[in-house]
A and B are shown apart, each in its own frame.
Chain A
């Protein structure tokens, strides 16, 4: 019983921070990632090469190293809290992966769709907005669901910046009670539930908006 009354407050405090970090990282990551993807597909040759190099670099390096590098750069430029700097770093890392997902989705829309949209007099932007994006969005959901689960799990990395998310809370709890296993098993179970719910939810969404064939 004492386990519950002591552990639960720690976990709840950490959980809300974990969820916030994940939401910021995923949301901003989607925003940056979309811009990156659209520029890579429809921007000029030079721009697309530079951005591809940037994405490749981000994808090649360990996330924890990137987190520390980006955090360090951000800390130099602006005065942000560890929470915001950490979330923003994760968002930038995720944007590289999300841009790949979105780019892949855009490119799986057949080329004829763009041509057909232009042929009825839409301009490029309109064609992208009304024809390409609604289709690409559907292709993107399964891999995006995968990325969402990765970001949930990666949110544990901001632990190294001292952000009091759920893993850090587990550490506080075990330092106080000498029951590390209880703490870490609970934390693992919560992560499992979060990724499970996210994957199932997006799976349902994907089925709901699937284009009938």
Chain B
């Protein structure tokens, strides 16, 4: 089913250093609508930093980032407004601990998008249903399992109607038996046409769901391509070594 290709995220020569340590060394990447990109690579290679540079939670030292045609790296851009429609899911969930699951989702709708409470309530319930947790609307984060927390976090992002979703190792903090429920939600999202950029070590998810695997090392993109090619016979030896290692674990 070919779609007219629409550029959603454009990253151009992004650099970021923490002190002397260069975390990103000139990353460039284009991501089209409905693409699901999986970022892989050894830990400490800047994958999470790159995600945070996309929504400007981390400000790059140089380079440019556009999301939906708006240049976020332009100082004149209202970054808060831009972030409203860039969903982000964190490794450690970061649900607001003092709010129920429903209020976690409603908060952004009411205070950021300015929705009426009743409207926000309906929307939030709908999103909870979508991740299969409508019955937990009154629970506090501390009363949920890790997998449930992460599904609520996804619902919180989805409620804002994002044009792209960023996943930062969404299953790394979960017990093995809880990973599946989160991946299922992500898979449904991908099939629904959501544009997604995921940092994850779940090779199974990459193989089945994603449209492109990007392998990063030492702050650079080493190689990228279709999952079939990247997983079976990549061009670079470094890619082969790394993906070979984690595929065995899968």
Q: CB–CB under 8 A between A and B in the complex? A: no
Chain A residues within CB distance 8 Å of chain B: none
